[in-house]
């Protein structure tokens, strides 16, 4: 491989980790009694995440408020964004009862999207008229809808997503079942959604779908199919730090290196790490400050 392709840090001045969580139980005790409760070794504070980003040459982040532990209490995430010097933005969790004023306050605080998790009981549902109305409201604030699902969850969500006209971001490569191949209906539906535009895919979470050890070769065909369908104009990368709810130790470095495995050309990585997330999430190049977060 060409030496210039060996280091994101030396070739890409700004780079976004577009999927991470911040959990700080000392400053922000868990407030969500439902769903998974992260263990002590799965906690990751804003300060710890800043250190991880800087040590791997990344400068910006899209932080996703975790349903596990916090639910629709976005306080921990908002505090982290406020302390980031404008380099972090957020994806909030909201309920149907969120007022327009609350949505606007979140937007003013750096929130650019809302996440809808179909996996956990108690998470905000998009079913029915209430779901459509909520999507229309967050669309009007200028946000996207970030969706996390397994199996046929996308097919169930497609009608209401299309009806709302909202921009969509799909988590973790759509969580394909690697035993069923790229022709599985749910994955084909995701590829078709990508071809239509107005949707971005997070090239993340391969370790959650794979049946193999790093570099998760059984996920390669899915990642490349997504890149072809969505194009690099609608692909972003995320680590999923601090790796909540995994059965074994995870480290940031190997996950970060996956992007070089999937995209060996530095120009392509620059697009996924900066150009596309900057456009999708509204990041701006810092003026007069080239230091890492």
150-198 pLDDT, tens digit each: 999 999 999 999 999 999 999 999 999 999 999 999 999 999 999 999 9
Output the pTM of the full model.
Answer: 0.93
pLDDT of residue 1: 36
pLDDT of residue 111: 98
| CA-wise closest residue to 200 among 176, 181, 220, 173 | 173
275 in any annotated domain: yes
pLDDT of residue 168: 98
Owning domain of residue 158? 3-281
213-250 pLDDT, tens digit each: 999 999 999 999 999 999 999 999 999 999 999 988 99
Q: Quote the number of domains for the chain.
A: 1
287 in any annotated domain: no
Query: Which helix or strand (DSSP H or E) is residue 17 part of?
Result: strand 16-20
118 in any annotated domain: yes
pLDDT of residue 9: 47
Tokens 């006209």 belong to residue: 165
Q: What CATH number does residue 79 fall under?
A: 3.20.20.140
259 in any annotated domain: yes
| CA-wise closest residue to 216 among 226, 208, 227 | 208
286 in any annotated domain: no
| 113 phi, psi to nearest 5 deg | -165, 170
164 in any annotated domain: yes
pLDDT of residue 290: 45
250 in any annotated domain: yes
123 in any annotated domain: yes
Burial track 200-229 (b if 16+ CB lie within 10 A, e otherwise): bbbbbbbbbbbeeeebbeebeebbebbbeb
Contact (Cβ atoms closer than 8 angstroms) between residue 90 and residue 83: no
Q: What burial class does residue 147 get, using C-beta atoms within 10 Å of its C-beta: 0-12 exposed, 13-18 middle, 19+ buried?
A: buried
The helix, strand and coil proportions of the chain, stated in percent and rounded to the nearest 5, come to 45, 15, 40
pLDDT of residue 120: 80
Please report, in angstroms and rounded to a whole number, the separation of the first and last CA atoms in the chain.
Answer: 29
Mean of all residue pLDDT scores within the chain = 93
CA–CA gap between residue 133 and residue 129 (Å, rounded)? 6
User: Which regions of the chain are under pLDDT 50?
Assistant: 1-9, 288-293
pLDDT of residue 11: 64
Using the 8-state DSSP alphabet, how is residue 125 labeled?
P
């Amino acid at each position: 491989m060409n030496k210039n392709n060996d280091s994101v840090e030396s070739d890409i001045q700004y780079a976004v980790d577009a999927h991470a969580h911040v959990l700080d139980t000392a400053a922000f005790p868990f407030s969500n009694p439902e769903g998974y409760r992260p263990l002590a070794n799965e906690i990751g504070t804003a300060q710890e995440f800043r250190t991880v980003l800087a040590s791997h040459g990344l400068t910006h982040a899209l932080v996703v408020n975790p349903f596990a532990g916090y639910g629709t209490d976005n306080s921990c995430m908002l505090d982290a964004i406020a302390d980031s010097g404008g380099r972090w933005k957020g994806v909030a969790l909201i309920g149907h009862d969120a007022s327009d004023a609350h949505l606007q306050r979140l937007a003013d605080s750096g929130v650019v999207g809302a996440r809808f998790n179909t996996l956990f009981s108690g998470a905000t549902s998009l079913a029915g008229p209430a779901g459509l109305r909520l999507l229309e409201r967050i669309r009007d604030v200028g946000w996207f809808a970030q969706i996390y699902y397994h199996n046929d969850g996308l097919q169930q969500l497609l009608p209401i997503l299309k009806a709302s006209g909202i921009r969509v971001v799909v988590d973790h490569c759509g969580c394909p079942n690697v035993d069923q191949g790229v022709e599985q209906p749910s994955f084909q539906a995701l590829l078709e959604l990508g071809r239509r535009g107005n949707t971005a895919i997070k090239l993340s979470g391969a370790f959650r779908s794979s049946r193999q050890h790093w570099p998760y070769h059984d996920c390669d065909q899915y990642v490349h199919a997504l890149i072809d369908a969505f194009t690099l104009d609608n692909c972003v990368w995320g680590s999923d730090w601090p790796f909540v709810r995994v059965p074994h130790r995870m480290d940031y470095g190997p996950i970060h290196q996956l992007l070089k495995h999937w995209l060996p050309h530095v120009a392509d990585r620059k697009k996924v790490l900066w150009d596309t997330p900057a456009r999708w999430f509204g990041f701006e190049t810092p003026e007069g400050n080239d230091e890492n977060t």
